[in-house]
């Protein structure tokens, strides 16, 4: 009997990342000669019946406030039905990869919930759940998780040796490997030619103009040394065995005719629905545009602007838009990609002359892709200009499959670097220099001038252009067809490989709009961020006590809440039913400088006078000696007891907390702030406070709408640092106690080469100053700290041991090669610590280990004290105390040296150690628990 190789690959995806990963898994499985079916979760009970499946690979993300993507709702509704028997899915085995962002307090909310629900219905998970974090780069986890999945599939479906080879190798085909080797010898000179092509090529006489056509900018040269987008680390450039994914199968074959294409009657994106879309696009006229505050500076942007539109026409779509739009909802603006960038791309592809001709898209009959389909969001016919302007996202960072295809259409030197970036070994460099650097397609094409891919390949691999949503900041009950928005002008500087300064793509469009212009808008599916929340739809709103926290543009949706409340008040008063009861409604709002930027000031102040807002609490962060607190968190702390009493009051209706704003860090920071308040004012332990907050979230009493726009990561980090550094007036609020760690997680560094290298470095240091002696970490006690924590009692310690064991199990299930740390270079932290740097090549394994540890500790309700910070593995060599050792610092830190080579440690055990204790005779700390990593 032949073994059936049929199984399901299921995805739930809001912005397309889970979908694209599921696509890649599907393609790989086809190569392995398996019979997967690829389905969206909302195809449940149409294309698949989950209760009839025997095996499913599931990729799902979280959106909103830990909510399922819109195309997963139907599936969740089905499996969350209370009436299902506990063996409903007893025939199902599954593998689950979750995507999320650790800046959200509901990190991995959906995958966790799904895992629990499937298990509760009898499903059996066959691999550790993957938790990919968009904050640090999804690839760091997706890649090893998929490798593990393919291994598993090869075993499960008894793949032949050849098929298994595809599963385990992810290797480039031999032709590629040839080139990988061939280009090595001349790499240095070829790389410098890339650099040169980005620089002024003059040399004799007058410099030729280097201005890039259509963009009118000059390319910014990359640094001549060090790792950058165009130059890999010494290890990767010397690697003869790059593990390179096979290029995705092509499947589009387009043809351009001589006729011009008329796009006037082309429905936007072929009327294809996207996740999150509630109505089709409707037309609106711009009726107001105004500046609320100026940009901070020409480079930084961040000014706030207001735009008001009036919905036009009468049609069922317009009716449903107007009927369904309520307080808390958002509206998508349909926008085009910037013409300059589209022209540059078309020109690079050699297609500018044909850009407006009629383009016929078809599936390539020769394609080997199974079941190839044209994306439904391309109108057909269209024109190249139309699809590049309206259908594909040219600003999102190019994916690794796209780089893989670019490599096939580049000269040899650029090909080598592109293959490095999409290789397994290049994940960390890709994450740092492409994804986190926020490079766009245009940045990339400028940096790699020889890349000239066929347009069909671009159309296959660029993600769909999704309109950007903006929160409605007024209420129809008062404004009918007029809808108002407040937006922040996002600007990105030309740094970290970005070739030109630009506004966010929708920001730029919104800024360009004038009164009288016509726009297309789409109502977003409602989320729980509504007044009243969806779960309480139809219930009276006036009585609900509200704590609303909306720094910056986050205040916008609260204006719609208040207008709805005001309309209710007016209606009640005019009906002669007597006065309404007084209800507490806090609004915490903050800006940098209230006199320069106070969004909807007059309106909020008038609402405050009307009693619709009972407490308008203002904060400003950039005004020295301001009478206001700096950040909303500080203002919450200042009223800590009052806030805790308010949110925990046992009253009906129960008070609701809403938080909204830009910057994902807000979500985690507020959560931490509330947790701290519950501990300080209610005597809760940290796990109890966390459980209480989680309960508030689950019961939809603590609801967030936090978006990330712009360089959210650095902003969030900066905000976090600022919040930490702020001191609250001790006379009015209890200063949060500094919590000192008493345990740490570590691995020791005992490789004799490293110890010898450290000893000789120490000898050299002591030659310059004998006083360093007491500051040096003895070479017998060298170690790398993976995390610190405070565990108060035996129970917590027991849990910590278990958490470490679980973490290592999860880690070794995903990381199936030896864990190494290569120490290369001497650096220092804030003039306090001298350390050996961990080379980026060994960093991904350590990052994954750290993620597994912090996840397992948080799953066990134990927090790592540095859990919010980015993890920088390092080998501490010397520690100074500031200001006492200030004088020594200058001498010590002049020993920085990026080229110092220590060696590579193969890590074989991870330990939990006590911190403040006499070191034992081995000159190391007391080890309480050790886990040995498997020998590989
Ligand atoms: C439900 C919801 C409601 C919202 N409401 C509002 C609102 O009321 N007001 C408001 O101002 N915004 C709001 N937003 C945010 C808004 O939708 C947009 O995300 C924001 O305006 C940025 O869009 P953009 O096209 O201008 O920027 P984009 O061009 O999309 O750039 C922003 C994102 O792209 C990436 N990126 C692009 N280029 C770079 C680069 N060069 N460097 C680094 N990163 C880069 C970043 O990851 C960044 O997150 C809301 C978002 C959501 C989800
Ligand atoms: C508006 C918004 C809300 C989000 N909310 C969460 C969240 O609550 N928890 C989480 O882990 N990730 C959250 N994320 C991060 C996404 O899950 C993550 O970026 C993921 O890679 C998106 O995958 P998708 O494109 O398949 O939807 C959110 C992202 C956005 C844009």
In this structure, the residues whose C-beta lies within 6 A of any atom of ligand 2 are 13-19, 61-66, 69, 99-101, 104, 106-109, 134, 138, 707-708
pLDDT digits (tens, 9 = 90+) for 507-549: 999 999 999 999 999 999 999 999 999 888 889 999 999 999 9
pLDDT at residue 725 is higher than 60: no
**Helix residue spans in 448-541 (DSSP H):** 455-461, 476-479, 505-512
Mutation probe of ligand 1 site: the residue of 136, 326, 440, 468 with most atoms within 8 A of C-beta: 468
pLDDT (average), residues 127-144? 90
Nearest ligand 2 atom, CA 12: 26
CB-defined site of ligand 1, < 6 Å: 330, 395, 438, 468-471, 485-488, 490, 492, 498, 504-507, 553, 556, 662, 705, 707-712
Q: Which pLDDT score, from 0 to 100, does residue 258 have?
A: 92
The reported pLDDT for the residue numbered 187 is: 33
Of residues 674 and 840, more confidence is placed in 674
Residues 6 or more apart whose CB falls under 8 angstroms from that of 205 comprise none
Tell me the CATH number for domain 743-932.
Answer: 3.90.1140.10
pLDDT of residue 577: 82
pLDDT band at 198 (very low <50, low <70, confident <90, very high): very low
pLDDT the model gives residue 889: 77
911 CA to middle of ligand 1, Å? 42
H-helix or E-strand containing 174?
Answer: helix 174-182
For residues 821 and 767, give the distance between their C-alpha atoms in angstroms, rounded to a whole number.
29
Which amino acid residue places its CA nearest to atom 28 of ligand 1? 504
Q: Which atom of ligand 1 is nearest to the CA of 509?
A: 26
- Identify the band that residue 183 occupies on the pLDDT scale cut at 50, 70 and 90: very low
Which of the four pLDDT bands, split at 50, 70 and 90, describes residue 726? very low
Pair of tokens at residue 252: 């589009």
Residues sharing a CB contact under 8 Å with residue 157, sequence separation 6 or more, in sequence order: 3, 5, 32, 34
Crossing angle for the helix pair 665-682 and 712-725, to the nearest 10 degrees: 30
Residue 743: is its pLDDT beyond 50? yes
Per residue in 212-238, pLDDT (tens digit) is 999 998 888 898 888 999 999 999 999
**How far apart are the C-alpha atoms of 490 and 497, rounded to whole Å?**
18
Confidence of residue 791 (pLDDT cuts 50, 70, 90): confident
| CB of 9 closer than 8 Å to CB of 37 | yes
277 CA → ligand 1 middle, Å: 17
pLDDT greater than 80 at residue 110: yes
Mean pLDDT to the nearest integer, 329-358: 97
Per CATH, the homologous superfamily of domain 6-169 is Flavodoxin domain (3.40.50.360)
Can you give the residue ranges of every domain in the chain?
A: 6-169, 171-197+211-470+514-522, 527-725, 743-932
Per-residue pLDDT, averaged over 361-381, amounts to 92
pLDDT (0 to 100) of residue 415: 97
Q: What pLDDT, on a 0 to 100 scale, did the predictor assign at position 859?
A: 78
pLDDT tens, 858-867? 877 787 877 6
* 833 contacts 882 by C-beta, under 8 angstroms: no
Percent of the chain at pLDDT > 90 equals 65
CATH of 171-197+211-470+514-522, one of 2.40.30.10, 3.40.30.10, 2.40.10.10, 1.20.990.10: 1.20.990.10
Q: What is the pLDDT of residues 452-472, one digit of tens each?
A: 999 999 999 999 999 999 999
Provide the pLDDT confidence category of residue 579 given band limits of 50, 70 and 90. Answer: confident
- The pLDDT score that the predictor gives to residue 716 is 31
- CA–CA dist 768, 759 (Å, integer): 15
pLDDT digits (tens, 9 = 90+) for 290-317: 999 988 777 778 899 999 999 999 999 9
Name the band, by pLDDT with cuts 50, 70 and 90, for residue 103.
confident
Q: Which atom of ligand 2 is nearest to the CA of 20?
A: 26
CATH 2.30.40.10 fits 527-725, yes or no: no
CA–CA dist 576, 159 (Å, integer): 78
Confidence of residue 118 (pLDDT cuts 50, 70, 90): very high
Structural tokens at position 921: 């005779």
Cα 104 from chain centroid (whole Å): 9
Question: What are the tens digits of pLDDT across the range 260-295?
Answer: 999 999 999 999 999 999 999 999 999 999 999 988
- pLDDT tens digits, one per residue of 54-102: 999 999 999 998 999 999 999 999 999 999 999 999 999 999 999 999 8
Q: Give yes or no for residue 720 having a pLDDT over 60.
A: no
Residue 335 pLDDT exceeds 70: yes
Q: What's residue 472's pLDDT?
A: 98
932 bridge partner residues: 909
Cβ neighbors of 788 (< 8 A, separation 6 or more) are: 741, 743, 744, 745, 864, 865, 866, 915
CA of 808 to the centre of ligand 2 (A): 26
Residue 556's CB is within 10 A of a number of other CB atoms, namely 27
Q: Ligand 1 center to residue 505 CA distance, Å?
A: 8
Beta strands 743-748 and 702-707, pairing class? unpaired
pLDDT at 199 over 70: no
Examine domains 6-169 and 527-725 and report if their fold is the same: yes
Q: Stretch 808-824: mean pLDDT, rounded?
A: 89
**Using 50, 70 and 90 to split pLDDT, how confident is the model at 193?**
very low
CA of 254 to the centre of ligand 1 (A): 32
Q: Residue written as tokens 């850009």?
A: 355
Given a cut of 90, whether residue 886 has pLDDT beyond it is no
Rounded average pLDDT over 434-443: 94
């Amino acid at each position: 009997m032949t073994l059936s190789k049929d199984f399901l690959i299921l995805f739930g995806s809001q912005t397309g990342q889970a979908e694209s990963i599921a696509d890649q898994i599907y393609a790989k499985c086809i190569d392995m000669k398996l019979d997967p079916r690829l389905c969206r979760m909302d195809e449940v009970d149409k294309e698949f019946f989950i209760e009839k499946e025997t095996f499913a690979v599931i990729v799902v993300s979280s959106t909103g406030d830990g909510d399922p993507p819109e195309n997963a709702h139907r599936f969740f509704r089905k499996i969350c039905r209370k009436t299902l028997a506990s063996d409903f899915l007893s025939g199902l085995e599954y593998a689950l990869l979750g995507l999320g962002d650790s800046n959200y307090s509901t990190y991995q909310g959906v995958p966790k919930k799904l895992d629990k629900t499937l298990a509760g219905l009898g499903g059996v998970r066959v691999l550790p759940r993957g938790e990919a974090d968009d904050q640090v780069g999804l690839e760091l986890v997706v890649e090893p998780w998929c490798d593990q999945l393919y291994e598993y599939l090869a075993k499960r479906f008894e793949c032949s040796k050849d098929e298994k080879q595809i599963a385990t190798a992810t290797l480039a085909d031999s032709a590629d490997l040839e080139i990988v080797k061939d280009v090595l010898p001349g790499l240095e000179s070829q790389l410098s030619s890339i650099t040169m092509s980005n620089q002024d090529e003059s040399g004799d006489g007058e410099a030729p103009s280097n201005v890039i056509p259509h963009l009118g900018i000059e390319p910014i040269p990359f640094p001549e040394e060090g790792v950058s987008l165009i130059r890999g680390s010494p290890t990767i450039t010397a690697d003869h065995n790059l593990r390179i994914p096979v290029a995705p199968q092509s499947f589009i074959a387009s043809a351009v005719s001589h006729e011009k294409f008329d796009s006037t009657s082309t429905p936007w994106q072929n009327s294809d629905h996207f996740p999150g879309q509630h109505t089709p696009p409707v037309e609106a006229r711009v009726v107001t545009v105004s500046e609320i505050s100026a940009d901070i500076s020409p480079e930084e942007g961040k000014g706030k602007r207001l735009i008001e539109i009036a919905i036009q026409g009468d049609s069922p779509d317009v009716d449903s838009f107007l009927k369904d739009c309520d307080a808390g909802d958002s509206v998508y603006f349909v926008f085009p990609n910037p013409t300059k960038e589209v022209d540059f791309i078309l020109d690079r592809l050699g297609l500018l002359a044909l850009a407006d001709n009629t383009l016929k898209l078809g599936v390539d009959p020769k394609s080997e892709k199974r079941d190839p389909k044209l994306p439904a969001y391309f109108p057909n016919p269209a024109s190249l200009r139309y699809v590049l302007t309206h259908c594909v996202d040219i600003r999102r960072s190019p994916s690794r499959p796209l780089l893989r295809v670019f490599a096939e259409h580049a000269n040899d030197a650029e090909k080598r670097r592109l293959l490095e970036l999409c290789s397994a070994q290049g994940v960390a460099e890709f994450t740092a220099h492409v994804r986190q650097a926020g490079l766009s397609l245009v940045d990339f094409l400028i940096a790699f001038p020889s890349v000239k891919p066929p347009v069909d390949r671009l159309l296959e691999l660029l993600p769909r252009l999704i309109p950007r949503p903006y929160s409605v900041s007024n209420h129809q009950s008062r404004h009918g067809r007029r809808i108002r928005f407040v937006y922040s002008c996002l600007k990105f500087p030309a740094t970290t490989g970005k070739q030109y300064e630009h506004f966010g793509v929708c920001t730029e469009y919104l800024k360009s709009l004038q009164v009288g212009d016509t726009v297309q808008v789409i109502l977003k599916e409602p989320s729980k961020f509504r007044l009243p929340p969806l779960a309480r739809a139809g219930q009276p709103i006036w009585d609900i006590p509200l704590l609303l926290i909306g720094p910056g543009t986050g205040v916008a949706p609260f204006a719609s809440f208040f207008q709805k409340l005001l309309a209710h008040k007016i209606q009640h008063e005019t009906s002669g039913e007597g006065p309404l009861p007084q209800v507490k409604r806090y609004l915490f709002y903050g800006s940098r400088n209230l006199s320069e930027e106070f969004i909807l000031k007059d309106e909020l102040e008038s609402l405050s006078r009307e009693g619709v807002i009972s407490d308008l609490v203002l904060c400003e962060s950039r005004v020295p000696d301001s009478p206001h607190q700096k950040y909303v968190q500080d203002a919450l702390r200042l009223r800590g007891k009052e806030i805790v009493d308010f949110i925990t009051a046992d009253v009906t209706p129960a008070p609701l907390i809403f938080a909204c704003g830009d910057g994902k860090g807000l979500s985690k920071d507020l959560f931490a702030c509330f947790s701290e308040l519950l501990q300080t004012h209610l005597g809760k332990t940290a796990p109890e406070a966390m459980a209480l907050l989680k309960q508030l979230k689950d019961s939809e009493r603590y609801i967030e709408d936090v978006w990330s726009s712009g360089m959210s990561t650095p902003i969030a980090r900066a905000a976090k640092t600022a919040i930490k550094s702020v001191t609250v007036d001790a006379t009015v609020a209890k200063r949060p106690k500094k919590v000192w760690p008493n345990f740490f997680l570590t691995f020791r560094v005992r490789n004799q080469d490293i110890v010898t290298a450290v000893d000789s470095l120490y000898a050299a240091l002591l030659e310059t100053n004998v006083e360093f002696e007491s500051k040096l970490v003895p070479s017998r006690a060298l170690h790398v700290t993976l995390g610190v924590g405070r565990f108060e009692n035996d129970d917590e310690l027991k849990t910590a041991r278990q958490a470490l064991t679980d973490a290592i199990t999860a880690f070794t299930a995903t990381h199936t090669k030896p864990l190494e740390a290569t120490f290369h270079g001497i650096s220092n932290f804030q003039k306090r610590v001298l350390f050996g740097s961990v080379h980026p090549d060994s960093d991904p394994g350590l990052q994954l280990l750290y993620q597994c540890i912090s996840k397992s500790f948080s799953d066990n309700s134990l927090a790592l004290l540095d859990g919010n910070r980015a993890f920088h593995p390092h080998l501490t060599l010397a520690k100074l105390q500031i200001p006492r050792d200030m004088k020594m610092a200058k001498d010590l830190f002049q020993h920085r040296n990026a080229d110092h080579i220590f060696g590579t440690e193969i890590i074989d055990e991870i330990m939990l150690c006590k911190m403040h204790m006499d070191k034992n005779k081995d000159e190391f700390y007391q080890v309480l628990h050790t886990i040995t990593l498997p020998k590989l």
